[in-house]
């Protein structure tokens, strides 16, 4: 966080200096990016690298300043930005390396759990069946590897069909006249 704040502060100071020496449009052009200076470390690093690239141009390629008697020397800014960008880059690489190592560990753990489950699943099923036969369903549920609870009857869902809605009293079905009264002609 400290690296991000330092680098961001340097870029803000550089932009302010360029805006004071040149016009706002030229300062955006000279820095290589416009708008806000990001707080995101990855985007901030890209912005700083763009600014470093632009600052590396020879003095002959820099435009005239908008203020009489003031000149701009990019070398001190470049010397100030370079170590901060390198430090942030190193830290971002460390974080990426740690995330990759953590992903590898999690992958190995996942594969080990699958191997363990596949190796001991038949034995766990036998123990589960024995517990169920002994009248201990709670113990059988704890032995089960996948944590599911088979054997419980599912509650049947009531499905509304055309037949059930047609025969419901008072709902205007085909066999009654809408209020439980048959049609006069006896037709359905």
Tell me how far apart the terminal alpha carbons of the chain are, to the nearest angstrom.
79
Choice between 66 and 165, residue whose per-residue pLDDT is larger: 66
Return d(Cα 63, Cα 150) in angstroms, integer. 78
Q: Are 28 and 65 in contact (CB under 8 A)?
A: no
Predicted pLDDT at 69: 73
What b-and-e string marks burial along 105-130, b requiring 16 or more CB atoms within 10 Å of the CB? eeeeeeeeeeeeeeeeeeeeeeebee
Instruction: Return the closest-CA partner of residue 179 out of 165, 167, 169, 164.
Output: 169
Predicted pLDDT at 154: 44
Place of tokens 């000279």: 30
Return d(Cα 179, Cα 182) in angstroms, integer. 9
The CA distances from residue 147 to 3, 103, 121, 131, 151, in Å, are: 46, 25, 12, 15, 13
**What integer is the mean pLDDT of 36-48?**
84
Instruction: Return the closest-CA partner of residue 46 out of 1, 15, 7, 5.
Output: 7
- pLDDT(181) > 80: no
Choice between 130 and 183, residue whose per-residue pLDDT is larger: 130
Choice between 39 and 174, residue whose per-residue pLDDT is larger: 39
- pLDDT(173) > 50: no
Instruction: Return the closest-CA partner of residue 14 out of 35, 38, 30.
Output: 30
Rounded percentage of the chain residues whose pLDDT exceeds 70: 73
**What integer is the mean pLDDT of 71-81?**
85
Return d(Cα 182, Cα 173) in angstroms, integer. 10
- Average pLDDT, whole number, for the chain? 76
- pLDDT(185) > 70: no
């Amino acid at each position: 966080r400290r690296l991000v704040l330092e680098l961001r502060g340097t870029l803000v100071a550089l932009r302010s200096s360029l805006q004071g020496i040149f016009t706002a449009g030229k300062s955006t052009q000279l820095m290589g990016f416009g708008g806000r200076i990001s707080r995101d470390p990855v985007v901030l690093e890209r912005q700083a690298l763009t600014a470093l690239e632009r600052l590396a141009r020879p003095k002959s390629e820099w435009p005239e300043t908008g203020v009489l008697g003031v000149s701009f020397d990019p070398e001190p800014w470049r010397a100030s930005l370079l170590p901060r960008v390198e430090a942030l880059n190193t830290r971002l690489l460390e974080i990426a390396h740690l995330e990759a190592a953590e992903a590898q560990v999690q992958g190995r753990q996942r594969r080990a759990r699958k191997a363990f489950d596949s190796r001991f699943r038949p034995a766990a099923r036998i123990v589960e069946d024995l517990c169920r036969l002994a009248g201990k369903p709670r113990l059988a549920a704890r032995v089960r590897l996948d944590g599911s609870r088979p054997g419980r009857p599912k509650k049947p869902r009531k499905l509304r069909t055309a037949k059930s809605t047609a025969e419901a009293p008072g709902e205007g079905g085909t066999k009654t006249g809408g209020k439980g009264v048959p049609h006069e002609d006896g037709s359905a």
